Amino acid sequence: MIKRLKAAAIAAAFLLSGFLCSCTDCDNSTPVERNGQLHVEGTALVNEHGDAIQLRGMSCCDINSCYEFFSDEVCDTLISEWGCTVIRLPVTVRSLDNGYIHFPDYYYEEVCEYTDALIAHGVYVIIDWYNYFDGDPNEYADEAEDFFNRISERYGEYPNVIYEISNEPHGESFLSDSSREVDWEHDVKPYSERMISAIRRNDPDNVIIAGVPHRNQDLDVVSLDPLDGDNIMYALHFYAGSHGQELRDKVQTALDNGLPIFCTQWGDSLDTGDSGVFYDESQEWIDYLNANNISWCNWSIGSRHTESSNVLRLYSDRFTVEQKLAGHWPDEMLSDSGMFVRTLIQS
């Protein structure tokens, strides 16, 4: 009840200021007003009424590349017009001389600014520790624990927030002298237990999503030795042009073993972000996710990265930065991926 009241208070403040988006649903309710506090039952994500639900939405590339992107107008567009019920906010841990470990206070405030705006619009928000360049999350585990302690202390009373505690574990183990590959037993599971403990000190019940080895694909292996605790899910990532039935077989094994899965990142291109849209392969994946009630976020929106994996035509000189930040994008501002993904969210 406290979480619902606090989220409602922020929404009311924005409404009084003229900032709250309208909703296309007939009851004018937001996703969080309709579903409230989420929890996990078996393999399902369940709302406060006990109904299994599927969240669909967008992931920004990373907040480090999305300067001032989540304006009120952009939030309104993604939620009211596109129908997003979840938005993912990756916080890059390290990137050359940038990232959270270099400027922790700056990026903490940045992610909080975006989170506050999205909470005010009544949408679910995944706050992701985006260790893209540092594949073993243990390399910056101290910083991650501090980050999630601060985030959960600030947002533990809000039903909107979902924690994604590592992005795509991969590569060599930071803890091993033998240069072995990152694995679940020795690396990712102990790290996950540490982050879950930090979050649960402040937030006893919001959903936590754990990463799994080999860039969130070894779900079958993890399903044999899952984490203890309630309201824990496991991340799946795929790119339709690069990953197909072999990965779906691993996902199906994990589901059969009772593992709850959230697809926090998927793309309709190759895993390099290039090559354009693989329509048939993407649709096959979406049909599978929908059939199994697996929530998903598409990659990506808001960054300056390659257009084939971005739903906006960010490279086009036909449109100004102000037009892109103003939201309410006409079709000609969307990439082929954007037109396709918007339809998938709305359907």
Q: With 90 as the cut, is the pLDDT of residue 103 above it?
A: yes
Reported as a single tens digit per residue, the pLDDT across 308-324 is: 558 887 555 567 778 87
Percent helix, percent strand, percent coil in the chain, to nearest 5: 40, 15, 40
Reported as a single tens digit per residue, the pLDDT across 10-25 is: 444 434 333 333 333 4
With beta carbons less than 8 A apart as the criterion, state whether 128 and 299 touch. Answer: no
Reported as a single tens digit per residue, the pLDDT across 107-132 is: 999 999 999 999 999 999 999 999 98
Length of the chain measured in residues? 347
Total domains present in the chain: 1
Q: With 80 as the cut, is the pLDDT of residue 210 above it?
A: yes
Buried b (16+ CB within 10 A) or exposed e, 265-282: bbbbbbbebebebbeebb
Q: What is the CATH number of the domain that holds 12?
A: 3.20.20.80
The pLDDT of residue 22 is 33
Report DSSP letters for 51-107, one per residue. Answer: -B---EEEEES-GGG-TT---HHHHHIIIIIS--SEEEEEEES-BTTBSTTTSHHHH
Structural domain including 64 reads: 2-346
pTM value is 0.91
**pLDDT band at residue 3, thresholds of 50, 70 and 90?**
low
CA distances from residue 205 to 19, 38, 128 in whole angstroms, order as listed: 29, 8, 17
CA distances from residue 262 to 37, 121, 219, 328 in whole angstroms, order as listed: 17, 22, 11, 28
